[in-house]
Amino acid sequence: SGLLTRLQTSAPTIRTLSSSNSFSQNIPSCLWKLGRLNHVAIAVPNLEKAQSLYKDVLGAQVSETVALPEHGVYTVFVELGNTKLELLHPLGEKSPIASFLQKNKTGGMHHICIEVDDIKAAMTELKKKKIRILSEEPKIGAHGKPVIFLHPKDCHGVLVELEQA
C-alpha cells in the first residue's frame, strides 16, 4: 500500500479552464480580422524553369506570366488545393526581387500574403501598435486588390503582405 500512496500523491493535478478564463477574453477586439493564407511568394532567378518545375514535374495548374511594373515584378501563380504559390521574377533594375536575388542567388521564399477584411482599418491599428508599413497607401496587387507590406523586422523576420479580401 506504500507504493499506491506515493503514486497517488505524486500524480499531476489536471485543471480545466473555466468559462471565466476563456481564450477569447485575451484576444483584443479589432476593427479588422485576419483571413486565410492567400499565397506564399517565392523569388526565382529563372521564371521559365520554375514554371516548368511546378507544371511539368509536379503537375500543378500554373498561370500565365503577368508583369506588374508598379511592383517591379513578373508574377506567376501556382494553384494549390487550399492556397497558391506566387513565383516572382525581377522586372526592371529597381525591382525589389532583383536585390533579393543578389543576396539569394538560387531564389527562395520572399513573403507570405494573408487576407484581411478591412485593409484601411488594419493599417490604422498596426501603425498605432508601431508595426511599420512599407508604403503610405495600399497599392493594387497581382489579384487586382489593395495590398500593403509589413516590415520584416516587426514580423519576426518575415515580410508579410496583407491583401484586402
* Within-domain flag for 15: no
Query: Containing H/E element for 121?
Result: helix 119-128
Q: Is 126 helix (H, G, I), strand (E, B) or coil?
A: helix
Handedness of CA 126, 136, 157, 46 (dihedral sign): positive
Q: Do 39 and 83 meet the contact criterion of CB atoms below 8 Å apart?
A: yes
Please give the Cα distance from 55 to 14 (Å, whole number).
51
In order along its 165 residues, the chain shows pLDDT tens digits of 554 444 455 544 444 444 444 454 555 567 889 999 999 999 999 999 999 999 999 999 999 999 999 899 999 999 999 999 999 999 988 899 999 999 999 999 999 999 999 999 999 999 999 999 999 999 999 999 999 999 999 999 999 999 999
In this structure, what CATH number is given to the domain that contains residue 38? Answer: 3.10.180.10
* Within-domain flag for 68: yes
pTM of the predicted structure, to 2 decimals: 0.80
* Within-domain flag for 53: yes
* Within-domain flag for 28: no
Which amino acid, one-letter code, is at 154?
A: D
**96-109 burial code (b ≥16 CB/10 A, e <16):** bbbebbeeeeebee
In total, how many domains does the chain have? 1
Residues spanned by the domain of 140? 34-164
| pLDDT at residue 146, as a whole number | 98
| pLDDT at residue 28, as a whole number | 59
* Within-domain flag for 16: no
